[in-house]
Structure 1
């Protein structure tokens, strides 16, 4: 049994090529054309065209790309004072050497055209930034955060209040990671879940500053990020020494760790309310039961008092209180009646004389007149 070979047409070839291209089209595409912002400092003075300062500047911008591509960061200088030029270039931590070099090259060409005659300028791209100045950059601690126009183009969210808390938790964690974890080389990425979405973010500092300065720069940048973009699907803040960004798609290359937003704050409040309600119910029940017990005991006490009164009365009737009698039944003493013996009574009545009988007025019948 043999099979028939079917010739592949031009349409089939194009279809195969299309299917091969699709998987790669969904991967992040790094382009150097994503210009974000250019800052030309007006208060640092100008240099003269074709001056030694300009020649040193051009030489600096020519050497930055190749050196920066090796490690992703470079800080150097060219020339001697007073025409010495300091330069700094930083590529995003996930960018490969080729993309890094291409970005720094284009940034150098752009900045010298946009900021001609300026002795201090910074330019930011999606994948890199370039900064030159007439003064040492490590002594420049002034924050120069910028809010690119790109931010206003991002879509608004339906629930910005809840999203803001989740976003700031992610970005604050990344800021600490970038500043204080030496293995990160001052670049940290991470993700966090928000409902059915995944939020991607990164925080980065230039490597010529200390961790505390990095943290301070990122903290200020996050304040601006929250103000401009916490109600949007994406946002970015750039500065001389740090930058932060987030989006709802994976815009960077490589892996990143997933953070979990601590929802225990809301849970604690709910648990506290439930516990309070339960405790209140228990207290009410205890009060009701206690009141019933008190009433029952009081009622029983009254009944017992009545019973005791009846018993006491019967006992008094059966045996009068304070009466002493002999075995023959003769009264000896009584607490209620005065007791006198027979001799005393006989003497007092003159041996029970009729003249001393009660009701007779103390006189004899023979001598009393009507």
Structure 2
């Protein structure tokens, strides 16, 4: 029979064990916000300190920082040509709200550091991307130029060709899901995640489009084709852009 002291000690140990399990489970999701890549848009030139462009840039950046990021997306412009500033910012579909605001601050700091005085640039992190430009791209035009692939260096075990085909089919399924209307009728989902057993592997995948483009499914299908060009048989891979992106891994990496 336990004494009261022993019982308290047992409960404390159990509580600590639960916390450790929770920390491990969160860590296993790889919920990081690592820097992934950046591209300074050199063709758009540089601005001078104290210029009208810098004033407009600071205005837009400060304006967006007051946004609550409930839907994880912001596309806004300020100023007149040739000093107009256009910003597109989007968080991953499971990183809205305060997490999105934190990623915005990180992205702004990263852009200022890596593309000093450039009028335009793009920076990607694990949970968001930021694009600054002098050009306001219309929603009918997909940005297929500013994209890049990443992949795990390790290959899957077994029939890699079959895995690639099954993975492509799975991503197409998610692309169709992302292109469906929201339950409240406020627009299209433009984001979908899922998990599926493919042979001996359980895979986790995500697709997402920026909320202001017209043809999400078309953009995602393009990314899926690009994925098959760069990353055959890999345990994990992604193609990121400023209009849409796709990703799969052999471990869970999103919160939902």
TM class by shorter-chain length? 0.7 to 0.9
- 1:17 Cα deviation from its structure 2 partner: 1.6
What 5-or-longer segments of structure 1 have no aligned partner? 255-370
SS in structure 2 at match of 1:70: coil
| 2:199 equivalent to 1:198 | no
Of 218, 224, 227, the match for 1:225: 227
Which runs of structure 2 are paired with 1:16-35 in the superposition (5 Å)?
16-27=15-26, 28=29, 30-32=31-33, 34-35=34-35
Partner deviation per Cα, 1:198-257 (whole Å, 9 max, x = no partner): 1111111111110x3x23322221122112223111011111111110111111122xxx
Q: Which has the higher strand share?
A: 2
Number of matched pairs: 247
Q: In the alignment, which residue of structure 2 is the partner of 1:42?
A: 42
SS in structure 1 at match of 2:56: helix
Distance 1:220 1:145 in 2: 13
Distance 1:227 1:145 in 2: 17
Q: Relative contact order (C-alpha < 8 Å, sep 6+): which is higher?
A: 2
Distance 1:118 1:100 in 2: 24
- 1:173 Cα deviation from its structure 2 partner: 1.8
**TM-score of the aligned structures, taking structure 1 as reference length:** 0.61
Q: In the alignment, which residue of structure 2 is the partner of 1:99?
A: 99
Distance 1:127 1:45 in 2: 28
What 5-or-longer segments of structure 2 have no aligned partner? 183-187
Structure 1 vs Structure 2 CA RMSD = 2.5
For the Cα contact (< 8 Å) 1:175–1:219, is it kept in 2? Answer: yes
Partner deviation per Cα, 1:267-308 (whole Å, 9 max, x = no partner): xxxxxxxxxxxxxxxxxxxxxxxxxxxxxxxxxxxxxxxxxx
- 1:57 Cα deviation from its structure 2 partner: 1.4
Q: Label 1:19 to 1:241 Cα distance change in 2 as closer, same or farther (>3 A).
A: same
Q: Which has the larger radius of gyration?
A: 1
Of 202, 216, 225, the match for 2:218: 216
For the Cα contact (< 8 Å) 1:68–1:90, is it kept in 2? Answer: no
Which runs of structure 2 are paired with 1:1-370 in the superposition (5 Å)?
4-6=3-5, 13=12, 16-27=15-26, 28=29, 30-32=31-33, 34-67=34-67, 69-138=69-138, 141-148=142-149, 150-151=150-151, 153-158=152-157, 159-178=159-178, 180-183=179-182, 184-210=188-214, 212=215, 214-254=216-256
Q: Which has the higher helix share?
A: 1
